[in-house]
Amino acid sequence: MKITVLVPTYRRTSDLARCLDALARQQRAPDEVLVVCRGADEETQAWLAIEKSRARLPLVKVEVSQGGQVAALNAGLDAVTGDIVAITDDDAAPRPAWLQRIETHFADAPDVGGVGGRDWVHEHGETLDASEQDVGRWQFPGRAIGNHHLGVGAARDVDFLKGANMSYRVSAIRGGAIRFDTRLRGTGAQVNNDMAFASAVRRAGWRLVYDPAVEVDHYPAQRFDEDSRAVRGSRSWVAIENESYNLHLVVRDEYRGVRRRIALMWLMVVGHGACLGWVNLGRARFLHREGTALQRWRAARSGAAIAKRDFATRRLQNAQGELVG
């Protein structure tokens, strides 16, 4: 199998250098390394010219004019020539056996469409080293359980993967024309784009495998989007609204009929993550005395309302198109 590694990047050359250093040390060398950057990102453009001259990796620069991770990832997918595309972030550093383990999973099971693993998160001089068995799963009525950065145990099937450490069989995504969702909001990270993409691959009939031994080290870096002025870990109201919007679109795609209505009701009543529902609003405001809880709740509900409107509009447009056809 030919393996293409895809790395989107923007104005983080020191992080990108660490990532490419790690790719150069792979036990199973990559056949192609695509680095996707914006044409206007002069710092990265200049750095990549020097890196390419070193000729230590089969490095290909892919330029994109539009901002956001979704546009960068889709531009990368268009340029892939391998049988497997392994995706990681510029602020991650794959461990030496990363590609070797990924290739083994795809070679051993032709029905596997995606493989992911643990990203060891390093923040504030510490490594998050807790252990979780429950990883990458949709839990009814609508809760998404991540924990990809904490997973332990044997390799197992999951419902979705994490963007810092995920790989796909190219025939699985090209055959079904699966793309990163351009509906998702945000000027940079576009939160939940990885969940939406992986879930779409699974719904197309492919297995997704999470193996904690497929490892990368992850050093969360500065973002250059609506959270650019915030300390990583805090959120602006626009970022929360966008995350809520994206999550509600993903949930609407994941569920149908009565299950969809129940899932959306659960998000409104209880909530998930940054998307506060009534119950979590009460906990944040009265139990934890969080002064900004009401603003967070309003931002989350605004995102949910816009997602509902946009989803209904697109469904109507699709129905009208089918009638005309």
Of 218, 248, 271, the one marking the end of a domain is 218
Give per-residue pLDDT as tens, 139-195: 988 899 999 999 999 999 999 999 999 999 999 998 658 999 999 999 888 999 999
Q: Tell me the helices (H) and strands (E) count for the chain, helix number first.
A: 10, 14
Give per-residue pLDDT as tens, 51-61: 999 889 999 99
Residues 160 and 252 in one domain: no
Residue 229 lies in a domain: no
DSSP reduced 3-state for 119? strand
pLDDT on residue 194: 97
Question: What CA–CA distances, in Å, run from 134 to 102, 159, 209?
Answer: 21, 11, 13
Give per-residue pLDDT as tens, 247-262: 999 999 999 999 999 9
Top pLDDT among 301 and 324 is at 301
- Is 230 a residue whose pLDDT tops 60? no
Instruction: Assign residue 193 the CATH number of its domain.
Output: 3.90.550.10
The DSSP secondary-structure symbol of 234 reads B
- Is 243 a residue whose pLDDT tops 60? yes
Query: Of the given ranges (82-96, 196-210, 213-227), which has the lowest mean pLDDT?
Result: 213-227
Residues 167 and 258 in one domain: no
Residue 225 lies in a domain: no
Residues 174 and 127 in one domain: yes
Over residues 198-202, mean pLDDT: 97
User: Over the chain, what is the mean pLDDT?
Assistant: 92
pLDDT on residue 232: 45
What's the pTM value of the predicted model, to 2 decimals?
0.93
- Is 7 a residue whose pLDDT tops 70? yes
- Is 228 a residue whose pLDDT tops 70? no
- Is 229 a residue whose pLDDT tops 50? no
pLDDT on residue 180: 96
Over residues 11-26, mean pLDDT: 97
Residue 32 lies in a domain: yes
Pair 248, 261: CB distance under 8 Å: no
Over residues 39-55, mean pLDDT: 92
Token reading at 247:
């999550």
Pair 59, 33: CB distance under 8 Å: yes
Q: Which residues contact 163 (CB under 8 A, 6 or more apart)?
A: 69, 87, 89, 193, 194
Residues 175 and 128 in one domain: yes
Residue 156 lies in a domain: yes
- Is 5 a residue whose pLDDT tops 60? yes
Task: Say what angle helices 237-254 and 193-203 make with each other, to 10 degrees.
Answer: 0
Q: 231: how many CB neighbours lie within 10 A of its CB?
A: 8
Residues 62 and 114 in one domain: yes
CA pair distance 223, 230, nearest whole angstrom? 9
Residue 58 lies in a domain: yes
pLDDT on residue 325: 59
Token reading at 227:
């959270």
Residues 161 and 92 in one domain: yes
Pair 113, 19: CB distance under 8 Å: no
- Domain total of the chain: 2
The DSSP secondary-structure symbol of 231 reads P
Residue 226 lies in a domain: no
Q: Judging by beta carbons within 10 Å of its beta carbon (0-12, 13-18, 19+), is residue 310 exposed, middle or buried?
A: middle
Give percent helix, percent strand, percent coil of the chain, each to the nearest 5. Answer: 40, 25, 35
Residues 181 and 66 in one domain: yes
User: Which amino acid makes up residue 116?
Assistant: G
Residues 146 and 209 in one domain: yes
Residues 149 and 91 in one domain: yes
Of 218, 247, 278, the one marking the end of a domain is 218
- Is 3 a residue whose pLDDT tops 60? yes
Residues 211 and 293 in one domain: no
pLDDT on residue 310: 95
Over residues 242-251, mean pLDDT: 96
Question: What is the C-alpha R_g of the chain?
Answer: 20
Residue 231 lies in a domain: no
Pair 248, 195: CB distance under 8 Å: no
Residue 249, φ and ψ in degrees, nearest 5: -65, -45
Query: Of the given ranges (11-20, 23-32, 166-175), which has the lowest mean pLDDT?
Result: 166-175
Residue 238, φ and ψ in degrees, nearest 5: -65, -40
Give per-residue pLDDT as tens, 75-118: 999 999 999 999 999 999 999 999 999 999 999 999 999 999 99
Token reading at 324:
């005309």
Residues 213 and 293 in one domain: no
H helices within 150-284, ranges in order? 170-175, 193-203, 237-254, 257-269, 278-282
Residues 208 and 277 in one domain: no
Residue 265 lies in a domain: yes
pLDDT on residue 176: 58
Of 218, 251, 285, the one marking the end of a domain is 218
What is the span of the domain harbouring residue 258? 237-324
